[in-house]
Amino acid sequence: MTAMLEVRGLSKRYPGFELKNVGFEIRPGCITGFIGRNGAGKTTTLKSILGLVKSEGEIRAFGTDMRENEAECKKRIGVVFGEFEYYADKKLKLITSIYKRFFPQWDDAAYRDCLERFSLDESKRVKELSSGMKVKYSLALALSHGAELLILDEPTSGLDPVSRDELLDIFKSVVEDGERSILFSTHITSDLDKCADYIIYIRDGEIAMQGDREQIIGGYRLVQGRSDELTPALESALVGLKTTPFGFTGLIPEHELYLAEGLATAPADIESIMIYNERYEHAEGGELK
């Protein structure tokens, strides 16, 4: 099955920052979470894909070179960069009437369905919408022109837990027919535990880890013990190590778990994997692949 999006050797240099040889694929029917610290390169990667910044590398969408077929490819892509902040004093009905002119494949029935499904009122002005409603309106526009790939940059940032949970349910319903995919960047890793099928983790402009979410979290365990239980072999195996006056906690690859026999262990999640790699990286430990 043809990938929705293929990125190969994507590179971009700024003063003080470099995007280095980024590569990944977005599969049909999947929600892919794109994670990393602020400044790690998430937005630069997404803007490079969309041609908003010039970069080196190969970008293919729906089996074709995106740079050579940009107009056609973008008709099949929906983009949400944060909240919808344009034309704050304009009513949604007016904005939609202008927006849909750019998409010959616009589907009014699908749009009306989105309005009802997301409880959106066209008579409201943009400035009257909550943060969550602004994201929903952006999604309604994308879904109404038949977008097959949704690229979302921090769509749940700043939302309350209830609104975030509601949006994540919407994401899951969007891809359930297997004909659409979502790539969304976020620093709220708990969102990924609820909805993501695939994870891409970028660190300092490079892909540090990517794979199926269940395989990633299943590949690591959290281990805890007293200081005197931290053997040299165990310490060397830890990806990340945090020491306290009471002992230590660490992140260990599943295949090295035998070194922690007799110690307390717990399942890892995306947040703990990222934190131990970023904050408590162990100089002698293994690197995430």
Encode pLDDT of 190-222 as tens digits. 888 889 999 999 999 999 999 999 999 999 999
Q: Are residues 96 and 134 in the same domain?
A: yes
Report if residue 98 sits inside a domain: yes
Residue 283 domain-assigned (yes or no): no
The whole-number average pLDDT for the span 76-99 is 84
Do 202 and 234 sit in the same domain of this protein?
no
Q: pTM of the entire structure?
A: 0.86
Residue 233 placed within a domain? yes
Domain extent, residue 62, equals 5-216
Give the contacts of 50 (CB within 8 A, at least 6 positions apart). Answer: 74, 77, 79, 151
Q: Domain count for the chain, please give it.
A: 2
Contact between residue 4 and residue 66 where contact means Cβ atoms under 8 Å apart? no
Same domain assignment for residues 64 and 157: yes
In this predicted structure, the answer to whether residue 283 has a pLDDT above a threshold of 60 is no
274 and 173 part of one domain: no
- 194 and 251 share a domain? no
Average pLDDT score, the chain: 89
| Cβ contact 135:182 at 8 Å | no
Q: What is the pLDDT of residues 138-170, one digit of tens each?
A: 888 888 888 899 999 888 877 788 888 888 888
Residue 212 domain-assigned (yes or no): yes
Q: Judge if 211 and 228 occupy the same domain.
A: no
- Give the tens place of pLDDT for each residue, 97-135: 998 888 888 999 989 988 998 889 999 999 998 888 888
d(CA 18, CA 12): 6
Q: Say if residue 71 is in the same domain as residue 178.
A: yes
- Which CATH number does the domain housing residue 172 bear? 3.40.50.300
